[in-house]
Amino acid sequence: MTTELEQTNRTMISRHSERGSYDRNVANAILDEGMVAHVGFDTGNGVAVIPMTYARIDDELFLHGAIASRWLSGFEQGKPVSVCVTLLDGLVLAQSAFSHSMNYRSVVCFGDATVVADQGKKDAAFKAFLDHLIPGRWDDTRQPDSKESEATIVLSVPIREASVKVRSGPPKDSAKDLGLGYWTGVIPLEMTNSAPIPDPEMEENKPVPGYVKDFDPRRQ
């Protein structure tokens, strides 16, 4: 597997190219930390962008939804999609309103989404979906039965034609604005979790699993 992502007209970064990268390892790290992807595609009645959970296995992204979902029709022969995952790391306050920004890490991937027909691969994707969100949960839950599997469509998108964009650090004001005297800096942001809330329908005195107590949404 090559460590460089494919550079095309769709992935070429023209605005702030200094923030761009085609390093597959950097892309994988962002994808593995993220939880929600925004998937864009042509529905036949216009372009839609759908937020979805996802999972990565090696150089493939997997998406899933209900067979009955209207938007999932037409993928049997493959359908072009874009997949974007963004991690927001901070708000950047500059001297001028125009120079305010955000610190972020993002991946945008283009490719044909195809239906996963092989049951073994589909089962592996189901496991990846759950363990991507809550590592360790798959082995501590009832797994999908045949009816649930048949009611679910899994799509595969190759991680090949993609780009990474990252901004970090302090504001970058124009020289003419540096002496204006306003407060400038960064408000760091990160995802955190609170104490687990037990299900009131759960059997009493069930201990909280270690993977729940130790859960860190930052994947650190």
pLDDT tens, residue by residue, 156-170: 999 999 999 999 999
pLDDT for the residue 61: 98
Sign of CA dihedral 88, 89, 91, 93: negative
- Give the model's pLDDT for residue 68: 77
Question: For the chain, what's the residue count?
Answer: 220
What pLDDT, on a 0 to 100 scale, did the predictor assign at position 131?
96
At 17, is the pLDDT very low, low, confident or very high (cuts 50, 70, 90)?
confident
pLDDT of residue 220: 57
Residue 20 corresponds to which amino acid?
A: G
186 burial (CB, 10 Å; 0-12 / 13-18 / 19+) is middle
Instruction: Return the domain boundaries, the chain.
Output: 17-213
Instruction: Bin 219: left if φ > 0, else alpha if -120 < ψ < 50, else beta.
Output: left
Residue-by-residue DSSP string for 40-96: EEE-SSSEEEEEE--EEETTEEEEEEETT-GGGTT-TT-EEEEEEEEEEEEEEE-SS
Per CATH, the architecture of 17-213 is what?
Answer: Roll (2.30)
151 has a pLDDT exceeding 70: yes
Distance in angstroms (rounded) separating the CA atoms of residues 136 and 158: 25
With 80 as the cut, is the pLDDT of residue 208 above it?
yes
Lowest mean pLDDT across 9-23, 108-122, 183-197: 9-23
Q: Which residues contact 132 (CB under 8 A, 6 or more apart)?
A: 32, 35, 53, 54, 55, 56
pLDDT for 67: 83
Residue 16's pLDDT is 80
**pLDDT digits 0-9 by tens, 86-133:** 999 999 999 999 999 999 999 999 999 999 999 999 999 999 999 999
Tally: H helices and E strands in the chain: 4, 10
What is the pLDDT, as a whole number, of residue 1? Answer: 52
Q: What is the 3-state secondary structure (H, E, C) of 121-143?
A: HHHHHHHHHHHHHCCCCHHHCCC
Least confident window among 11-25, 92-106, 182-196 = 11-25
pLDDT of residue 65: 87
Predicted confidence at residue 206, as pLDDT, reads 87
Q: Which residue has the higher pLDDT, 2 or 75?
A: 75
